[in-house]
Structure 1
Amino acid sequence: MALPEGRRLIHLVLRLLAAAGLAVNAAVHARLADRYDAVGDSLTQGTLFRAEAAAASLAVVLVLLWRHRSGDLFAWLVSAAGFGALLLYRYVDVGSLGPLPNMHEPVWFGDKTLAVWAEGISVVALTVLLLGRRRRRIRASDAAPPPE
């Protein structure tokens, strides 16, 4: 089922916003990773930052090129997890959790602010995309004739 022209434009803008937010997230985490290699023992915060950068980079590709619900969901999970973790470790001193190091950092600085905005924008754009697909699918199933 093809989308009307206006909705295609909205979807394109949402995808570009999500991808841009994910790309900024990936760049910030990749840039900061080496500064956090000393935080943690076997699993360092730098390693987690590199994993976040890799996951966000993959999510950019999925959002822009694959454009499938499961790719959008993966991208949403990457953005939401990053957003939630950033806010959690900013405001709560969780301490070490198993192999995860204590990542509490109770200050805002330029890259952290940029990352939280980028992740938040991605979460919102991807939420709208995912919910819009669900609504279209529900409407399409309501319009379908009942099986005989």
Structure 2
Amino acid sequence: MIALRVLTAAGLILSAVIHFQLAPGFQQAYPGGIGGGNLFRIQAVIAVLAALYVLIRGDRPSYAVAAAVALSALAAVVLYRYVQVPAIGPIPSMYEPVWYAKKTLTAMAEAVAGFLAIIGYALLRRNRHHE
């Protein structure tokens, strides 16, 4: 199960690194508000914390958190790729109707991390029932 923990965490860390890299460019359009860059930074910090949690604990709650973080980030990137969501309060409209290398890589990392976290969660449940 250690490999599953490491791979789940690696997907989350890859997502975080890319979000940190992209953040400055997304903040420029909203220098005074929350801005996309700050949202990217917040997501990256949460992904790092979820990665550490699953690495350290490797229990069902940690896998649930990892799945929630990874899949919510994936949902956001796909939503803002295909739907022009208007600004909601301090959250800017982040519609970006293109795929490029870093965006695609982070989406794939989030999908893999989310999928692996679900598997980890399910395996721990199954193992618990067979003890």
Same fold (TM > 0.5): yes
Identity %, equivalent residues: 36
Question: 2:106 matched to 1:133?
Answer: no
1:90: which partner in 2?
Answer: 81
Cα deviation digits, residues 63-100 of structure 1 (max 9, x gap): 11122222221111110110000000001111112221
1:77: which partner in 2?
Answer: 68
* Aligned ranges 1:9-88 → 2 under 5 Å: 11-40=1-30, 42-88=33-79
Distance of aligned partners of 1:42 and 1:121 in 2 relative to their CA distance in 1, 3 Å threshold: same
TM-score (norm 2): 0.92
How far apart, CA to CA, are the structure 2 residues paired with 1:114 and 1:83?
A: 11
- Local SS of the residue matching 2:28: coil
TM-score (norm 1): 0.82
Structure 2: which 5+ runs fail to align?
none
- Local SS of the residue matching 1:105: coil
Structure number with greater Rg is 1
How far apart, CA to CA, are the structure 2 residues paired with 1:95 and 1:39?
A: 15
Aligned length: 130
Aligned-CA RMSD value: 1.4
2:90: which partner in 1?
Answer: 99
8 Å contact 1:39–1:101 — kept in the other structure?
no
How far apart, CA to CA, are the structure 1 residues paired with 2:128 and 2:91?
A: 40
Higher relative contact order (CA 8 A, sep 6+): 2
How far apart, CA to CA, are the structure 2 residues paired with 1:115 and 1:55?
A: 15
How far apart, CA to CA, are the structure 2 residues paired with 1:93 and 1:39?
A: 16
Structure 1: which 5+ runs fail to align?
1-10, 141-148
Q: Which structure 1 residue ranges, 4+ long, deviate > 4 Å from structure 2?
A: none
